């Protein structure tokens, strides 16, 4: 093949992706002097990546298959804008061999490996066969072509339980199930196949031995068209939930120098089996002693920033230079490991409600400055809308330091100083996770989060004196700011109240808990706050995003967001959501019952698991929705009879729509 068609210099780059990776690629491409073209769906019309690019092309409706996954529209977008190359980012079509070939056929440079390399390494089954031939250590398993139930069942019995059922074309934990007994196998395969078909258009499965107490270690590799192939050290991605990585770090704190060289050499050997060109990742599972090849990702990874921070290498820049046809600028012995980096994935999801995705408009977006070893790769801004159509990741926060302990401390401080409102995020969960003593001690495996979930999602403590005083200060502070523009407004003088009143009462509530009361005394002399029998002197000094509250001589920094009668506060004790009870009455209670079987978010019905008329125990599964690429099973809220099902498989349902009715048994 004429390599000039594969690798050549270009001036205009189309990024066939969205969110933070599109923004990430745009920044490096523009720094290299390239023109950038974004693509977007109708749901992303006002998205951040659209604003950053030099040009942007509408692909179609919100659903990914009608926009970001439509190869013809992507190729046409490149033609319209004069783009000469395409960067696929990660996810979507990044590991799709047909897309890579379509770009080549259209005369476009594909920033990544060739279709042939993707086909060889992108299939989990095919790559395992290739690695076995190359002598790379493998987890015992079945990766054959036969996919009938009898073959898969026989393979599972031969391997021995527990096993892992995995989508051959998969990634990101989708189409993957842990099976601990023969009785669990058939339903696990059905569910995994359905999820794999929806996510990848391919429901082929492989089976491999499940490694108990496993650790996930991966090696970043990159090759050029001149025969150079390098490894850029390893990352540890053991902290996972539902097989999705949550925290990543580099280098692995598990490996010593000798083990590091062994696994990196194995990664180079694996990539060398297909003469790999471009950026990719060789993934291994470790039982604490040995490492086994599990798969190769023929693309850039979400967690690539931790590798960039410990090597000083911009991987996107290197990807583009390889696509230009250039040789890699460094040799293997010139790549040096410097310090430690840790990354946390910030998602729009509610950890206290089984990580249910959260959608809506971002009303507040306050993240710390990227200084002191902190880096933030974001795909959203204040005012942006998080839709239910795509992955719920908002941003990545990455911290670098000379040592792992300091990197963890820096990352935690960055998370603690972040306030995102309007949607629910996993930021408090991430902070609790990385500060867990066992995480600090690296005493973890891939099941750690599930085992510790209750402790990690325990929620904020009850508000104390500091928080109640801060709530009053936030309200008064807000009222003063509103009044500042009014000429000769009495509110500009702190403490003024009509009719000469010298006291003001406040009541707050957390959820449906009891009212918590605070009295503000003001007038001549210092203002005070009274909680119960205690009277506390206080002063307030405003600052961006909140204020400094001095309470009985102790100054504390407070972040505050007020939305009507809802208050969000962040103090040294954590994050708090308070409801300010309307002093003039008019409070209403939410009437939505917990027994309503309704769609929690817009989604697609992918399975009906019970029949009308069936007797159900409390918690029995009724139906499954696919919401933001994740399956959510709706269950019976109490024992009873399934009176009716108001949907069928394939229905697209909106948030709040009732999907089934259960008649209580009366017991």
- Residues annotated as catalytic are 299
Instruction: Decide: 131 and 208 in contact? Cβ < 8 Å.
Output: no
CA 108 to chain centre: 31
Question: In sequence order, what E strands does 333-465 have?
Answer: 340-347, 349-350, 356-357, 360-361, 364-366, 374-378, 385-386, 393-401, 419-421
Distance (Å, rounded) from C-alpha 400 to C-alpha 204?
40
Strands 85-87 and 12-15: parallel
Output DSSP code: residue 289.
S
List CB contacts of 375: < 8 A, sequence separation 6 or more. 305, 309, 397, 398, 399, 400
Rg of the chain over CA atoms, in angstroms? 27
Distance (Å, rounded) from C-alpha 379 to C-alpha 385?
11
List CB contacts of 350: < 8 A, sequence separation 6 or more. 356, 358, 424, 426
**Three-class DSSP category at 481:** helix
Strands 35-41 and 12-15: parallel
List CB contacts of 148: < 8 A, sequence separation 6 or more. none
Distance (Å, rounded) from C-alpha 127 to C-alpha 141?
13
Distance (Å, rounded) from C-alpha 647 to C-alpha 306?
45
Instruction: Decide: 332 and 230 in contact? Cβ < 8 Å.
Output: yes
Query: Sign of torsion, CA 438 439 444 450?
Result: positive
Q: Which residues pair with 414 in a beta bridge?
A: none
Residue 269 CB neighbour total at 10 angstroms: 17
Q: Which structure tokens are listed for 163?
A: 């096993």
Residue 288 CB neighbour total at 10 angstroms: 12
Instruction: Decide: 205 and 192 in contact? Cβ < 8 Å.
Output: yes
Q: Compute the CA torsion angle 94, 99, 104, 110 (nearest 10 deg).
A: -10
Instruction: Decide: 36 and 369 in contact? Cβ < 8 Å.
Output: no
CA 433 to chain centre: 14
**Three-class DSSP category at 568:** strand
Give the DSSP H/E element, type plus range, for residue 444. Answer: none
- DSSP string covering 154-219, please? HHHHHH-SSEEEEETT--TTTTEEEE-SHHHHHHHHHHHHHHHHHHHS---EEEEEPPSS-EEEEE
């Amino acid at each position: 093949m004429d390599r000039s068609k594969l690798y050549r210099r270009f001036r205009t780059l189309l990024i066939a992706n969205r969110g933070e990776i599109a923004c990430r690629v745009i920044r490096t491409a523009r720094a290299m002097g390239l023109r950038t073209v974004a693509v977007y769906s109708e749901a992303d019309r006002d998205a951040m990546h659209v604003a950053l690019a030099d040009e942007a092309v509408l692909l179609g409706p919100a659903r990914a298959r009608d926009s970001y996954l439509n190869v013809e529209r992507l190729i046409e977008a490149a033609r319209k804008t004069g783009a000469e190359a395409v960067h696929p980012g990660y996810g979507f079509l990044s590991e799709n061999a047909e897309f890579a070939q379509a770009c080549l056929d259209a005369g476009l440079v594909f920033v990544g490996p060739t279709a042939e390399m993707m086909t060889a390494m992108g299939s989990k089954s095919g790559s395992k066969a290739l690695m076995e031939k190359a002598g790379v250590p493998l987890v015992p398993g079945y990766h054959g072509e036969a996919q009938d139930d009898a073959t898969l069942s026989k393979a599972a019995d031969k391997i021995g339980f527990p096993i892992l059922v995995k989508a051959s074309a998969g990634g990101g934990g989708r189409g993957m199930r842990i099976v601990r007994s023969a009785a669990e196998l058939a339903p696990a395969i059905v569910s995994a196949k359905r999820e794999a078909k929806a996510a990848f258009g391919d429901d082929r499965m492989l089976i491999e031995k499940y490694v108990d107490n496993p650790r996930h270690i991966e090696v970043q590799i990159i090759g050029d068209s001149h025969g150079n192939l390098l490894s850029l050290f390893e990352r540890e991605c053991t902290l996972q939930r539902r097989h999705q990585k949550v925290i990543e770090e580099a280098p692995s704190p598990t490996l010593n120098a000798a083990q590091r060289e062994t696994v990196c050499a194995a990664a180079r050997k694996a990539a060398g089996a297909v003469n790999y060109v471009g950026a990719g990742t060789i993934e291994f599972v470790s039982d604490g002693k040995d490492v086994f090849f599990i798969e190769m990702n023929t693309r850039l990874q979400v967690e690539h920033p931790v590798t960039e921070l410990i090597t000083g290498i911009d991987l996107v820049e290197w990807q583009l230079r390889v696509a230009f046809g250039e040789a890699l600028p460094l040799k293997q012995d010139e790549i040096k490991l410097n310090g430690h980096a840790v990354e946390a994935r910030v998602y729009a999801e509610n950890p206290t409600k089984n990580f249910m995705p959260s959608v809506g408009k971002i009303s507040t977006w306050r993240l710390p400055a990227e200084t002191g070893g902190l880096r933030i790769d974001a795909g959203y801004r204040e005012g942006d809308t998080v839709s239910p159509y795509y992955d719920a990741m908002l941003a990545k926060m990455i911290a670098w330091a000379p040592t792992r302990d300091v990197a963890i401390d820096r990352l935690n401080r960055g998370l603690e100083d972040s306030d995102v409102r309007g949607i629910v995020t996993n930021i408090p969960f991430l902070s609790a996770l990385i500060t867990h003593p066992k995480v600090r001690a690296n005493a973890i495996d891939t099941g750690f989060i599930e085992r510790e979930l209750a402790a990690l999602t325990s929620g904020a403590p009850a508000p104390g004196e500091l928080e109640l005083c801060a709530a009053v200060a936030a309200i008064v502070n807000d009222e003063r700011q509103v009044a500042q523009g009014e000429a000769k407004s009495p509110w500009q003088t702190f403490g003024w109240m009509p009719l000469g009143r010298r006291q003001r009462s406040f009541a707050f509530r957390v959820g449906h808990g009891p009212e918590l009361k605070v009295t503000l005394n003001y007038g001549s002399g210092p203002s005070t706050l009274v909680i119960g029998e205690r009277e506390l002197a206080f002063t307030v000094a405003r600052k961006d995003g909140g204020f400094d509250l001095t309470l009985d001589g102790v100054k504390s920094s407070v972040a505050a967001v007020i939305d009507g009668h809802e208050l969000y506060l962040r103090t040294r004790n954590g994050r708090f959501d308070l409801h300010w009870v309307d002093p003039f009455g008019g409070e209403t209670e939410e009437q939505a019952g917990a027994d309503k079987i309704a769609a929690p978010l817009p989604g697609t019905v992918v399975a009906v698991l019970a029949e009308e008329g069936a007797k159900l125990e409390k918690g029995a599964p009724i139906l499954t929705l696919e919401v933001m690429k994740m399956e959510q099973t709706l269950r019976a809220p109490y024992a009873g009879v399934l009176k009716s099902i108001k949907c069928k498989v394939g229905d697209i349902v909106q948030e709040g729509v009732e999907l089934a009715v259960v008649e209580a048994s009366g017991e």
